[in-house]
Amino acid sequence: MRNYSPSSAILLAVVVLAAAGLGASDAPPSARVVIGYVYGSHAALDPALVDAARITHVNYAFADIRDGEVVEGGPFDAQNLAALTGLRKAQPQLRILVSVGGWTWSGGFSDAALSAESRARFVASAVAFVHRHDLDGFDVDWEYPGLPGNGNVHRPEDKEHFTALMRELRKALDAERPKGRPRPLLTFAAGSFADFLAHVEIKKLAKIVDYVNLMTYDFRVQGAEKVSGHHANLFPNPWDDRSASADTSVRAFREAGVPAKKLVLGVPFYGRAWAMTTAERNGLYQVGNAPQPAIDASYTRLSGELIGRNGFARMWDAEAKAPYLWNASDRIFISYEDPESLALKCEYIRTHGLAGAMFWQLGDDMTGELLRVLADGLR
C-alpha cells in the first residue's frame, strides 16, 4: 500500500475474499469475506462511504511507528476509527483492523523488529492500539523487510526478525483476546516480486497470519522507470522483459509455500500514465516519462472523462487480459483496471482457489462500479 498526501480525498480500498479449495490443506474459509483499506489519517471520514453491505473487514490506513511504538498517524484517527467500529451495529459481520506502515511510514520497522526487547515494545503498543480503538485485528504493511523501500533503514536480519515479530504479535493478540469476541486477525501486505520473497520467510509467515495480501499492482510506475507497460495485468505480455503479472506472482507465492486459502490477489482502482516518445505499439512497453502536469488516473476520472472521450481510446491486450488507454494525438498511455479485467480476475481467483482479491483503493472509484464487479464475481 502507499500513503497519500493530506490533499487526497478520503481513500478507501477493499479486499474481497473468495473461497475454493485445492485439497485438504488448502480447504477454503467457511464464508467469503470483504476486507477494506480506508485511508483517513488527514481528514474526517464519512462512514457512509463504506459499503458495509459488501465489506466484511476494513483495514484503516495508516498507523505510524514512532520511537518503536505503534501510534496514531493523524489527528482524525480516533474519530475515524470510532466511526468505522460504529458500523458494526448495523453490520455485525464487519471487522475493523488497523494497518501500520505503508510506503511512507515503514522506516521504523527494522529497528522495531531488531531485538526481543524492541519487538516486545512494538507488540505491546500494537495490542494497546487495538484495545484503545476496539478493533478486531492488526495489519502489517512493512515495505519492505531487508530492502530500502522509501529509503528506509533495513538489515539482512530483517528476514528472521519479521517472522519473530509476526509470531509475537500473533501470540499477544490471542492472549489479549476480549471475552466473547472472535480471534483477532493478523495479516500483512506482501510485495509481488521475487526480491520480496528472497528477503522473508514466507512459508513460516503464512502459518502465522490469517491472510497474505499480495500487492499485484505497480508492476510499472511512471517516473520510477522509463518503460511503460501494464501495472496490474493478469498474465504476462510477451513484450515485457520482466514477465510481470498477477499470475506470475501467485505461482511464485504458491510454490514458496503460501496456501491458496490465505493468498489474496491485489487489484488497483487507479491507473498509471506515461507520456510516450513514440507511437509504436500504442505506447505499450515503450520509452516514456511521467506526464507533466500529472494525470489523475483514478477510475472515477477515467470512467467519467477519459475512457472513449477526449482522444482516449480504450484498448484491450488479449494476452495480458488487461485494458489500457491510448491517446494517439498526445501520445499518452494509461494502464488501468476495468470491469472486464476484474471479472477475469474473479474467475482466476475461483479457479485457483485463492482467498480473494484486495484492492487499493475505493476512494479512486466513487461510482462503486469496480467494487460491485468484485463482490458479485466472488460472492
Question: Do 231 and 171 have their domain in common?
Answer: yes
Tell me, yes or no, whether 5 lies in a domain.
no
At 185, which amino acid appears?
L
Question: Do 248 and 318 have their domain in common?
Answer: no
d(C-alpha 124, C-alpha 41), whole Å: 22
User: Are 222 and 290 spatial neighbours (Cβ–Cβ below 8 Å)?
Assistant: yes
d(C-alpha 339, C-alpha 377), whole Å: 10
C-alpha cell at 297: 488516473
Question: Do 367 and 221 have their domain in common?
Answer: yes
Question: Do 52 and 136 have their domain in common?
Answer: yes
**E strands along the chain, which residues?**
11-17, 33-39, 57-66, 69-71, 95-101, 137-141, 185-191, 211-215, 263-268, 272-276, 288-289, 312-317, 322-327, 332-335, 356-360
C-alpha cell at 82: 470510532
Question: Do 233 and 296 have their domain in common?
Answer: no
User: Are 56 and 35 spatial neighbours (Cβ–Cβ below 8 Å)?
Assistant: yes
Tell me, yes or no, whether 1 lies in a domain.
no
d(C-alpha 216, C-alpha 189), whole Å: 10
**Active-site residue identified among 69, 72, 117, 143:** 143
Range of the domain at 349: 11-269+337-378
d(C-alpha 287, C-alpha 38), whole Å: 34
pTM: 0.91
Tell me, yes or no, whether 6 lies in a domain.
no
In which residue are the cell numbers 463504506 written? Answer: 50
**Domain count of the fold of the chain:** 2
Tell me, yes or no, whether 207 lies in a domain.
yes
Question: Do 218 and 310 have their domain in common?
Answer: no
* pLDDT for 2: 55
How far is the CA of 127 from the CAs of 12, 136, 143, 160, in angstroms? 24, 11, 21, 22
Question: Do 177 and 46 have their domain in common?
Answer: yes
Question: Do 147 and 170 have their domain in common?
Answer: yes
d(C-alpha 216, C-alpha 218), whole Å: 7
CATH code of residue 150 = 3.20.20.80
Question: Do 174 and 207 have their domain in common?
Answer: yes
Give, for all 379 residues of the chain, the pLDDT tens digit. 655 433 333 333 333 333 333 333 344 444 566 778 888 878 899 998 888 888 788 889 999 999 999 999 999 999 999 999 999 999 998 999 999 999 999 999 999 999 999 999 999 999 999 999 999 999 999 999 999 999 999 999 999 999 999 999 999 999 988 778 889 999 999 999 999 999 999 999 999 999 999 999 999 999 999 999 999 999 999 999 999 999 999 999 999 999 999 999 999 999 999 999 999 999 999 999 999 999 999 999 999 999 999 999 999 999 999 999 999 999 999 999 999 999 999 999 999 999 888 889 878 899 989 999 988 888 8
CATH code of residue 326 = 3.10.50.10
Active site includes 143? yes
